[in-house]
Structure formats: structure tokens, C-alpha cells
Chain A
């Protein structure tokens, strides 16, 4: 089932970049609630963060060192941001239980759909932000004892020195050459129902995840509007 026969895909103008300041979605009628008689606690699913270098030739090469530190910054910033709100964070390991594995993969598909929906609006989703992972999320709840789960996805590329020179040179000639980009989202799932109660898209080119200060900026943007 392919539609390419009708519509030749045009150059994708990175509508994501067009949403420069990100976009927050909130489930309607959201009532944040916590399990009685316990500390406020959320599960932070292992953040899916990857930093790469955009070389002069336009190839993206993953950088292990930047990724390791960037991921640590993101995790630490999330934990401290939530601690400041009096919320405990259970930092989940990458899942090994088959059910949890499927839940994380399902979240990927749902996240993709939410993203896709901003470009190709589904009429049934027009007036309501209504997405769920289903009640199977109780597996995560039972394992980590949190009321909500936070998913984070960031892909960040940074222009290499050569690339920056190229960009400057090209700009002088009036030609656009793409620089590093940042794509990401965060979502909050109610582990009692499976509903995605909050979804935030990161816009283009925010703080650098290569240093602590830049990471704080990114995480602040990422978690802006978090209804906790």
C-alpha cells in the first residue's frame, strides 16, 4: 500500500524545525493525582538520547563520549527538576522483561503517531489529545512503583569544525547548508490507565547537550508545561 505513485515526496522542509519553540499537548480534563499514602513518585524510562557529529561531508557520526555525558546530564537534570517539586524519580533500566520491552516499543509507535499527527492531522484527534499505551502499563507500575512514567527521546547533532566553516562559507555565498539539529520529545504516561497525559515536542536547536549548562536549558524546555 504505497502512495508514492500519486504524490512524489517533496523535499521534507523539516516542519519540526518550523515548530521552533516546541509544542505541548495536554490530555483534556487532566487531573494529576497521586497514590494515597505514598511519596510522589514517577518512573523515568531509560532516556533515549544520542548525540552525533555532523561532518563536513554531511554524514552524521554517533559520538559515544558526547552521548554518554549528554545522557547523564539529561538524567540528572530531570531528577533534580522533579526533586525540586518534591517528586521522587525511579530511574528505570533498559527493559528486559518482555512485556516492558513491548510497552517501550509501543510508546515509540504512539510517539511517532503523535508526531505524525502534527503534520497529517487525523480528524478524530483534532479536538482532543487522546493517546494511550493501554492498561498493560501496570507492568511498569508494579515494577517501579510510580504513578506516572516519563519518556524522553532526543537526537542531537552538532556541526563539526569543518562543517561550521562550510556553513559560514556557504552563507557568505547566500547558500543554505544545514547545521546541527535537535529533535526530541518528552511524554508523561499515567501508569494507572496507560493514557499519555502530556506530550512536549522540542523545537529546533536549543541548548547544547555537550555541557551541563546547555543541558539544563534543553531539559527546562523539554519539561516545560509538565503538569506535575
Chain B
């Protein structure tokens, strides 16, 4: 069984290859996070190497906390690539997916990414800017047994999917950061 290479290792490699930049996101003005969507950062964030459709923010580094802004996921595409797996095997988005299906897709993708015991709950409609998207909570564990929590806000429109995902350890970090993340999610504006 191929094991997904940890994001961390790749970041190390990428950093030393000189092609990853970590930039500062300042609060006080809207930040573009993809697909024409802006959010208000609330506080300073470290932004890791944005690429089309994927922006990552972190306070303390991705080994601890991260907010993923995944935008413009098209029909037939996975949420993101997982090393060593074909896209079809990771699981793909279909434009006619209901929120329950997207929730299942997030869970399945995280399992393949290498997390254990991923469970989702509290699925509900939630505002995505002026539109109505949906949100749910996550509980999962790293392979090292560190318990984690997550929060997801997503929307399907124009046959594409946007997924915003916050992940942090259960011990201290999730509760410490989630009020800020809630405000970020509530500040979505744009397309």
C-alpha cells in the first residue's frame, strides 16, 4: 500500500528547492483566496505557496493548524491530489452531489490522505457570503495518534465546488483558533 508522503516532507523539499514562499497576510483588508472569493483575515496569517485553486493559511505551521481554501473544483476532479493515488481513486466531485455527498467526499479524501478515524457531523446549511452553502465538523487523528478537529464550509454552484477547511489539534489549538476561523468564514464575499 502506498503511503501518502506527508505535506511536511514535501514542504521541506520544496523549501530547499527554493520554490516555496511563505508570505504574510495582513488583517484589515480583504484577502483573495481563489475563485474570486475574498475573506477578511482578522489577524495576521502565514500563507503558503498559493496555486490555482489552493490557498493555505497557518498560524503555527501545517504540522499544527491550517486553513485550506480549495476553490473551483470541477466535475470529475478530486478535492486535491494525494501522492501515489490516481485522482479517480482519491474520489472525485460530481456537480450533482448533495451536501451529504460532499461531506462523504471530504471524509474519504482525508482517510486516503493518511488520517485515521475521520468522522463528520453536524451537517447544516450555512451562509457562504450572500449565498447558502453548507458546513460540518470533523474529528480525526493523525497517524501518530494526535487527536484533531476540523470545520468545513463549502458551496456548490455553477457546477464547481469550493471547500474551506480548518484543521487543528483537539488539545488547545482548535478551540483557540476556531472563533477567528468562524469570523473568516462569515466574512466571505465575492462571486
Contacts and interface: CB of A to CB of B under 8 A. Distances in A.
The answer on direct contact between A and B (beta carbons under 8 Å) is yes
Interface of A: 1-10, 12-13, 15, 99, 101-103, 105-106, 108-110, 112-113, 116-117, 119-125, 131-136, 194
A105 B146 contact: yes
B24 A123 contact: yes
- Nearest first, the 8 A-B pairs at minimum CB distance are A9-B13, A134-B172, A113-B61, A123-B24, A7-B14, A7-B19, A120-B15, A122-B46
B96 interface: no
Given A106-B173, A121-B22, 9 more contacts: A2-B5, A2-B7, A2-B83, A6-B14, A8-B17, A105-B146, A116-B8, A122-B61, A194-B172
A13 B16 contact: yes
Interface string B1-30: 000010111111111110110111000000
Contacts of B54: 1
B8 A112 contact: yes
Contacts of A12: 12-13, 16
B87 to A, nearest CB: 12
A123 B172 contact: no
A9 B20 contact: no
B100 interface: no
A102 B10 contact: no
9 contacts: A2-B81, A4-B83, A9-B14, A10-B17, A105-B146, A120-B15, A120-B22, A122-B46, A134-B172
Contacts of B8: 112, 116
A157 to B, nearest CB: 19
B44 A124 contact: yes
Given A108-B144, A109-B63, A113-B63, A9 B171 contact: no
Contacts, number: 134
Nearest to B81: A2
Contacts of A117: 61
A7 B63 contact: no
B31 interface: no
B41 to A, nearest CB: 11
A4 B5 contact: yes
Contacts of A101: 145
Interface string B45-72: 1100101001010111101100010100
Contacts of B144: 105, 108-109
A129 to B, nearest CB: 12
B56 to A, nearest CB: 7
A7 to B, nearest CB: 4
A120 B13 contact: no
Contacts of B17: 7-10
B82 interface: yes
B169 interface: yes
Contacts of A133: 171-172
B150 to A, nearest CB: 13
Nearest to B165: A1
B42 interface: no
A221 to B, nearest CB: 24
Contacts of B147: 102
A2 B84 CA distance: 11
Contacts of B173: 106, 134
B170 interface: yes
A121 B23 CA distance: 9
A131 B173 CA distance: 11
Given A1-B56, A13-B16, A113-B63, A108 B146 contact: yes
